[in-house]
Structure 1
Amino acid sequence: MAPIKAVLFDHDGTLANSEVVHFQFWQRVLADRGVAFVEDDYRLHFTGVSELNTAIAIKARFQLTDCVADLVAAKRAQAQQYHATQVYPLMPGVNEVLLALRRQGMRMAVVSGSARFALEANLAGLGLGHFFEYIASGEDVPNNKPAPDVYNQALHVLGLRPSECIAVEDTASGLRAALAAGVATCVVPNSYSAHQDFSGATKRVADLPEFLTWFNAHYR
């Protein structure tokens, strides 16, 4: 087994407790169009789904007249307004885990399906940007998660083989993306994603501190 040289973290729902905020963005977009959108609907059908694919599905489900690009733009406007004054809160243990991994000399990157502006704004606002060697965004590649493109991009930039990395994901979509790129994955489900199918994950843990304990026991 190749030594692990890097941990590749998803962002939304893994580092940042942002799923409820993304739901609220879409809820406002739909409310402006006279549609009621409930949290359980988002949780069951859209957690971990890319912005573009969510817009496509929402347009079809609610028979909206807007084009998909306009729905994406409306959601992004919500996000830009949010990030002008706020940040998504951290998931439990993030700072401690990142500090511990850096002390061990572990390389780290963010591999996310989210828009680059949101990733950079949130990581900067939380003071986490300095931990990560690279931020891979879903808009930088032809196909978003669950396709492997964003992981392949990160591996290429870092100059690492899949066997030299561990991914940390909170959704089935992210897990499938990492596995398709050949990267072993630890899943950390949250209240939005706990019902999803995590078949194929190397390990499932309750939170990031538990991930660190497992990682150190098996890979250090």
Structure 2
Amino acid sequence: MIKAVVFDFDGLILDTETPWYDAFSEIYKEHGAELPIELWGLGVGTSSEHFDPYAYLAECTGSEVDKKQIDELFWVKHGKLMESEKVRPGVVEYLRDARKLGLRIGLASSSPRSWIEKYLRQHGLFEWFEVIKTADDVSRIKPDPELYTAAAAELGVKPEEAVAFEDSPNGTRAAKSAGMYCVIVPNRLTSMLTFDEYDLRISSMAELPLAEVMGRFGN
């Protein structure tokens, strides 16, 4: 029986990921280079050790890049793009329905807590989550399962009693490795990436009521 739901944050609740790619892609174009989405996707939902956009830009241009200058430019561009981003469709309804169904509600993200809390509070979502596990709480982030196993432990459920909601291949690998069911809800960016094992794919949380999703897992 499913007793908990655990949500990713970036790209799932709020699409911060597509603006990340768009901002860096724009910078690449300004340097006369292209940023392949397949390479960028290696780092989505995890750390830059899987793909370093600064090093790849230097490789493409054949010259050193000023990381600090590019970083400053990136955050300006990303901030502007984020001004138009809203909570993804169906998220609030899923949180409300999870509470109505008596499910524990957690969050597991590879991002720092300060980043997540800022946006959760900004969009009035922070109070929905009983447990929030971030990069600050673990030694290994996704695709390692530690974030999900830690969230399950604090929620007081076994991993197999929880359903994770993810938008990226790295996050999905983490959830499945932890032993959870995993529903993927790709965003504009990650819908173009290749996913491994998962239990259900939906285009949006507005596509299928949470009760029906839970019904597919025996609830």
Q: Which has the higher contact order (CA 8 A, sep 6+)?
A: 2
Task: Report the Cα offset of residue 46 of structure 1.
Answer: 2.2
- Aligned pair count reads 208
* 1:187 pairs with 2:181: no
Please name the residue that 2:97 is paired with: 100
Contact 2:46 2:170 in 1 (8 A): no
**RMSD of aligned Cα (Å):** 3.1
Q: Indicate the SS of the match to 1:60.
A: helix
- Which structure 2 residue ranges, 5 or more long, are not aligned? none
Q: Distance in 2 between matches of 1:190 and 1:213?
A: 22
Please name the residue that 2:53 is paired with: 58
Q: Distance in 1 between matches of 2:84 and 2:134?
A: 18
Task: Report the Cα offset of residue 51 of structure 1.
Answer: 4.2
Contact 1:138 1:145 in 2 (8 A): no
**TM-score, normalization by structure 2:** 0.79
Deviates more, 1:90-99 or 1:16-25: 16-25
Aligned-partner residue type, residue 217 of structure 1: G
**1:66–1:124 CA distance, 2 compared to 1 (3 A):** same
Which residue, 16, 38, 50 being the options, matches 1:44?
A: 38
Task: Report the Cα offset of residue 165 of structure 1.
Answer: 0.4
Which residue, 15, 18, 34 being the options, matches 1:17?
A: 15
Q: Distance in 1 between matches of 2:106 and 2:198?
A: 19
Q: Distance in 2 between matches of 1:27 and 1:200?
A: 29
Contact 2:110 2:142 in 1 (8 A): yes
Q: Distance in 2 between matches of 1:88 and 1:45?
A: 24
Task: Report the Cα offset of residue 8 of structure 1.
Answer: 0.5
Percent of pairs with identical residues = 26
Task: Report the Cα offset of residue 198 of structure 1.
Answer: 2.5
- Which structure 1 residue ranges, 5 or more long, are not aligned? none
Task: Report the Cα offset of residue 101 of structure 1.
Answer: 1.2
Which residue, 75, 99, 107 being the options, matches 1:78?
A: 75
Q: Indicate the SS of the match to 1:62.
A: helix
**TM-score, normalization by structure 1:** 0.79
**1:194–1:87 CA distance, 2 compared to 1 (3 A):** closer
Q: Indicate the SS of the match to 2:49.
A: helix
Q: Distance in 1 between matches of 2:175 and 2:23?
A: 27
Q: Indicate the SS of the match to 1:46.
A: helix
